[in-house]
Amino acid sequence: MRPRTPLAGLAGLVLVATGCSAEPEPAAESSPSPEPSSSSTTEPSPSPSAERPEPPEEPDLPPVDSPVSLPAVMREEARGELDGSRLRQGEVIEETDAYTRSVVTYESRGLTVSGILLRPRGDGPFPGVVLNHGYIEPSVYAPGQGMAREQDYLARAGYAVLHTDYRGHASGDPASDLDRESRLGYARDAVTAVRSLAREPYVDADRLGMVGRSMGGGVTLSALVIAPDLVDAAVVHASVSSDYVDNLRQFTEPGRPAEAQELYDELGGPPSEDPEPYRQLSPRTYFDRVSDPVLAIHGEVDDTCPPVWADDTQRALRRAGADAQLETYPGEGHTFYAGWQSMIERTDEFLTNRMGDA
């Protein structure tokens, strides 16, 4: 992980109004994959690598118009409120020839969040990667659900993998309606997951990555604007839009109109009446803060998260000066079947190249 660029400030994530619907996780296929086309408990004291410098008194941060906004969460980050905790070990679920898979919990701004940790065999230090899963109805969500294939592949490739469940899922503390619908709570949990994983003695805190799928892609983009230099590289698979309103109209308004109305009431009206609160929930608005390399991978026939969203996000990232790449896969929809092996190998390659050596 790069040296942290601290800020300072006031009170107050993640991007998306509501995420893509979950699809069943198919088994990884070994058939040939299409080639992508590129377009350009008390918390212990942190280890020295996890310590943060004192923030400056006058940070250069966007103004806060609402506590329900990315700029408000940026100020929580600046004050050190998203530094996480040591991972607390729970039940060991599985032991394989390559890794041990366990339930863990960590602290995220006063709440307990659960997750699944895959620790490779050996002493390490291992590069670390946090996985942010896509939308799965919290009432039916099971621990570690959503990215089983990615968990196994990356752990076998030698990464310490922390799959966050997010607040309000599995055995974590409940999430407020506003945290859930704004995705701000999930973004907080992604940032604190990275910080918590970096505290573990078997993890190399100078080699950290993040991978998000679908709604988790939006969570990842929000985490990158909240905490610049959080990781060394990030990858998003089949991501939702970086514009909050796209997701609101695609998922929340048609599927959960009561929740959409509650959001309008909180933010002072729908986007058609006052677009500014929704701009402040969109990571795209703050892409000039992205300092970590980003790879987006998207299927060309994705009808859940339309490919135009990936194109628009790529253009916005590049326009803001970010180190961003987009690779599209012919014939692949939202879940990725034949192309999954090629996609995860490309993900591993990108993370490895951008993390560098220990």
pLDDT, tens digit (0-9, with 9 covering 90-100), for 34-79 = 444 444 433 343 443 445 555 444 468 999 999 999 999 999 999 9
Q: Hey, what are 219's tokens?
A: 């969570």
Asked if residue 307 has pLDDT above 70, the reply is yes
Asked if the structure places residue 6 within a domain, the reply is no
Would you say 233 and 1 are in contact if contact means Cβ atoms under 8 Å apart?
Answer: no
Asked if the structure places residue 45 within a domain, the reply is no
The mean per-residue pLDDT over the stretch 142-168 comes to 97
Asked if the structure places residue 8 within a domain, the reply is no
Would you say 37 and 311 are in contact if contact means Cβ atoms under 8 Å apart?
Answer: no
Q: For residue 121, give the CATH number of its domain.
A: 3.40.50.1820
Half-sphere exposure of 207 (CA within 13 A, CB side): 22
Q: What are phi and psi of 302, to 5 degrees?
A: -70, 115
Distance CA 7, CA 58 (A): 8
Tell me how far the alpha carbon of residue 53 is from its chain's centroid: 24
For tokens 């993998």, what's the residue? 161
Amino acid making up residue 330: P
Q: Hey, what are 288's tokens?
A: 């000039």
CA angle (350, 352, 353) in 5-degree steps: 65
- The larger pLDDT score, comparing residue 234 to residue 10, is at 234
pLDDT of residue 12: 34
Asked if residue 323 has pLDDT above 50, the reply is yes
pLDDT of residue 59: 62
272: DSSP letter: T
Asked if the structure places residue 323 within a domain, the reply is yes
pTM of the model: 0.85
pLDDT of residue 60: 86
Count structural domains, the chain: 1
Asked if the structure places residue 26 within a domain, the reply is no
Asked if residue 27 has pLDDT above 60, the reply is no
Distance CA 312, CA 267 (A): 25
Asked if the structure places residue 77 within a domain, the reply is yes
Distance CA 83, CA 188 (A): 10
Asked if the structure places residue 186 within a domain, the reply is yes
pLDDT of residue 228: 96
Asked if the structure places residue 35 within a domain, the reply is no
- Per residue in 166-221, pLDDT (tens digit) is 999 999 999 998 888 999 999 999 999 999 999 999 999 999 999 999 999 999 99
Domain hosting residue 269, numbered range: 53-355
SS3 label, residue 59: coil
Distance CA 23, CA 147 (A): 11
Q: What are phi and psi of 185, to 5 degrees?
A: -65, -40
